[in-house]
Chain A
Amino acid sequence: MNSLEFTTLIFAGSLLAGFLGALTGLGGGVVVVPLLTVIFGVDIHYAIGAALVSVIATSSGAAAAYVREGYSNIRVGMFLEMATTTGALAGATLVLYLHASVIAIIFGLVLIYSALVSFHEGSFLKPDQGPDPIATWLHMDSTYPTSSGLVSYHVRGVPMGFLLMVVAGVLSGLLGIGSGAVKVLAMDKAMKLPFKVSTTTSNFMIGVTAAAGAGIYLSRGYIDPGLAMPVMLGVLAGSLTGARVLADAKVRVLRVVFAVVIGALAIEMIYSGFTGKI
């Protein structure tokens, strides 16, 4: 196989991964890593390096749109970025000390968890539980647009949310993913933010979290230009297309099919990890 054929294959695979990542809400990074390792036999360090830069590309594009629409809670995002960047630095450093098989097994488990969570639509209307002293001190309470105008909400559970965000950061740095599923868990469940605010604020934070891990990946030599080039361009193009399809159509059935495929890849990763193939 020559260079052009190899690059075209990786580009096509990444395009598909980005498309599936956007449709399922999992993100392109989390789909492209099992694709590269299980199907193309790429070493997991190169795979997570290429995935993490593609995560920065897709999340920054999407974050730009959501910030304008007024869903993202910038203060909550900025405050919690202290937790995710600290976690990401720790996670990216941890890669050095863990065997590739262990990373593959953790990856598979996180992938299965994320696929299950992606079915949760989230309730738009949460009973407002009144102000919380920490959130008030941090000026986190805000409003978000709904069909019946701006609705205000209170933020709660800041310490728990912060701790979960450290975990999200560690997973992002360790696995080369955006770990949106854990970020949404922290904001939706622990901090009681409206679901749409949680998902968009998560997207807003993913780029910064990923950049913290990517700096370390780059200086450790995990980011290979020949591989990262088709992966980054493919995932970016795929996720832009996926987001457009998602806006047009009801894709519930497609999402179920894709989640099953992704679950199978996750199990293959865990199996390969235990048998030492990765």
Chain B
Amino acid sequence: MNGKSARTDQRIDELMGLLLRSGVLLAACIVLVGGVIYLARHPRPSDYRVFQGEPENLRTISGIFSEATARHGRGLIQLGLLVLIGTPISRVTFSVLAFLYRRDRKYVVFTLIVLGLLLYSLLGRR
């Protein structure tokens, strides 16, 4: 590996690190704001001893967005968690671009497969 591509690699690694940390920080801030609103409006905690599952508007992306834009605490927390789940997904997207830039075809295919599986998990109908 020559010096120039080593420097490119380092630059790509640094950007990837920055992406990961800012994603986590942003998610934590949104969750915290949502948490404060939630605690102010819900004096009684839910019962977690028996599993009931979340309502539709807290487990679909469109539902979470409408709850969050209405500034509901629980919706904002879920939005923060969506940002958190999105952080590794954006890291993989970034890797696809990085491997494209290096013309590393095999790894473009590998990272695209991973990205496809992640998007299926988040968006797949079930």
Give chain A's interface residues, CB within 8 Å of chain B: 1-4, 6-7, 40-46, 53, 56-57, 60-61, 63-65, 67-68, 70, 74-75, 78-79, 81-82, 85-86, 88-89, 92, 100, 138-139, 207-208, 210-216, 218-230, 232-233, 236
Judging by beta carbons under 8 Å apart, are A211 and B42 in contact?
no
Judging by beta carbons under 8 Å apart, are A232 and B84 in contact?
yes
Bound CA–CA A218/B118 (angstroms): 13
Judging by beta carbons under 8 Å apart, are B20 and A60 in contact?
yes
Which secondary structure dominates chain B's binding surface? helix
Task: A208-B89, A236-B28 given; name 17 further pairs at CB < 8 Å.
Answer: A6-B45, A53-B84, A56-B88, A60-B91, A74-B95, A78-B110, A79-B110, A81-B114, A139-B104, A207-B87, A211-B87, A215-B124, A219-B122, A225-B74, A227-B48, A228-B77, A233-B31
Judging by beta carbons under 8 Å apart, are B59 and A232 in contact?
no
Name 30 interchain pairs, CB-CB below 8 A, sorted by A.
A3-B44, A46-B48, A56-B84, A56-B87, A57-B84, A63-B20, A79-B110, A81-B114, A82-B114, A85-B117, A139-B104, A207-B20, A208-B89, A208-B91, A208-B118, A211-B85, A214-B81, A214-B121, A215-B121, A215-B122, A215-B124, A216-B121, A219-B60, A219-B124, A220-B53, A222-B54, A226-B38, A226-B45, A227-B48, A232-B84
Minimum CB–CB distance from B21 to chain A (whole Å) comes to: 5
Judging by beta carbons under 8 Å apart, are A232 and B31 in contact?
yes
Bound CA–CA A221/B74 (angstroms): 13
Residues on A with C-beta less than 8 A from B4 are none
Judging by beta carbons under 8 Å apart, are B77 and A236 in contact?
no
Minimum CB–CB distance from B30 to chain A (whole Å) comes to: 10
Instruction: Say whether, besides A53-B84, A208-B92, A218-B81, A233 and B28 are in contact (CB < 8 Å).
Output: yes
Give chain B's interface residues, CB within 8 Å of chain A: 13-14, 16-18, 20-21, 23-24, 27-28, 31-32, 34-35, 38-39, 42-46, 48-51, 53-55, 58-60, 73-75, 77-78, 81-82, 84-89, 91-92, 95, 104, 106-107, 110-111, 113-114, 117-118, 120-124, 126
Bound CA–CA A57/B83 (angstroms): 10
Bound CA–CA A147/B18 (angstroms): 26
Residues on A with C-beta less than 8 A from B118 are 85, 208, 211-212, 215
Judging by beta carbons under 8 Å apart, are A60 and B21 in contact?
yes
Judging by beta carbons under 8 Å apart, are A67 and B13 in contact?
yes
Chain B residue nearest to A224 (CB atoms) is B54
Judging by beta carbons under 8 Å apart, are A85 and B114 in contact?
yes
Bound CA–CA A227/B35 (angstroms): 10
Contact of A1 among B27, B31, B45, B120 (CB under 8 A): B45
Residues on A with C-beta less than 8 A from B122 are 211, 215, 218-219
Bound CA–CA A61/B28 (angstroms): 12
Chain B residue nearest to A7 (CB atoms) is B39
Judging by beta carbons under 8 Å apart, are A226 and B42 in contact?
yes
Residues on B with C-beta less than 8 A from A220 are 53, 59, 126
Bound CA–CA A45/B38 (angstroms): 22
Bound CA–CA A81/B95 (angstroms): 12
Residues on B with C-beta less than 8 A from A218 are 59, 78, 81-82, 85, 122
Residues on B with C-beta less than 8 A from A214 are 81, 85, 121
Judging by beta carbons under 8 Å apart, are A225 and B34 in contact?
yes
Contact of B58 among A43, A81, A225, A229 (CB under 8 A): A225
Residues on B with C-beta less than 8 A from A216 are 121, 126
Bound CA–CA A68/B124 (angstroms): 34
Centre residue among B13, B77, B113, B117 by max chain A CB count within 10 A: B117
Contact of B45 among A7, A60, A65 (CB under 8 A): A7
Contact of B24 among A4, A61, A85, A89 (CB under 8 A): A61
